[in-house]
Amino acid sequence: MYILIFLALLVSLVGINIDRTPKYSKPPAQKPTAKVVPQPTSKVAIGDPNNILVVVNKKRPLPDGYAPTDLMGPLRSEAKKNLDSLISGANSSNVNLKIISGYRSQSSQATLYNSYVKRDGQAAADMYSARPGYSEHQTGLAIDLGNTNGSCDLEVCFENTTGGLWIKANVQNYGFIVRYPNGKTDITGYQYEPWHLRYVGIETAKAIYASGKTFEEYSGLPPAPNY
């Protein structure tokens, strides 16, 4: 009896409520973390011919006589390994692709370009062939692909072949983009080439594919319709 009275007196003196439970304070809701999307490439990267993100177009030539030091046949080593995976991936989907053209030296490009100028005139040649020193093929990061049966090689109709359809839907997963998309000639400077792929790395390729932009637009560069 005396003990109960003593406890009641003690509680009233110190202000303790023995029936009070700790109040749960819910932490403030955290804002959802935005999905990380690769940002446009830096000016250092797009201007470095040894960087896989280098941008080469009619306004951005390569250093005179440039040649990559890590070529493995038609492409630089990293790009070649991913190209091998791309071709294997296509094969697993019963799509058979072949390499038509890869790395070209500046002198080889000059020979090719001059032959086109002689045949079609410079204005026409400039729409589908780069002048020497301005070709992506010289970087060792560009490749032209076709169907093994030769269907629509280097022609716009390639886009509707089995190879062209597979390329359009899948190459970003292997680090490649269709460099000269349809309807973007005023930006890239070249006619639509569904067979011409450019290696930029898997992360960047997926980001460019998702954005629907050209390499120029994604890199924050102005259009390059002419020299």
- Is the pLDDT at 33 greater than 60, yes or no? no
The CATH number of residue 150's host domain is 3.30.1380.10
Asked if residue 137 is part of any domain, the answer here is: yes
Of the two residues 202 and 35, the one the predictor is more confident about is 202
Q: pLDDT exceeding 90 applies to what percent of the chain?
A: 81
* Better-scored residue on pLDDT, 50 or 42: 50
Task: Give pLDDT, residue 25.
Answer: 39
Of the residues 78, 136, 159, 193, which is catalytic? 193
Q: Give the per-residue pLDDT at 9.
A: 42
- Local confidence band at 196 (pLDDT 50, 70, 90 cut-offs): very high
Query: Total domain count for the chain?
Result: 1
Among 180, 155, 182, 171, CA closest to 206 = 171
pLDDT band at 32 (very low <50, low <70, confident <90, very high): very low
| pLDDT tens profile 125-166 | 999 999 999 999 999 999 999 999 999 999 999 999 999 999
* pTM greater than 0.85 (yes/no): no
Q: In the chain, pLDDT over 70 holds for what percent of residues? A: 81
The pLDDT value recorded for residue 39 is 52
Q: Residues near 34 by Cβ (< 8 Å), separated by ≥ 6?
A: none
Does 155 qualify as catalytic in the annotation? no
Contact 129, 136 (CB under 8 A): no
98 located within any domain: yes
DSSP per residue over 64-83, as a string?
TT---S-EETTEEHHHHHHH
Whether 25 maps to a domain, the answer reads: no
pLDDT for the residue 98: 99
**Which pLDDT does position 92 carry in this prediction?**
98
The answer to whether residue 203 sits within a structural domain is: yes
pLDDT confidence bin for 180, thresholds 50/70/90: very high
User: What is the average per-residue pLDDT within 182-206?
Assistant: 99
Domain that holds residue 81: 71-219
Q: Tell me the three state secondary structure of residue 63.
A: coil
In a domain, 224, yes or no: no
Q: Is residue 89 part of a domain?
A: yes
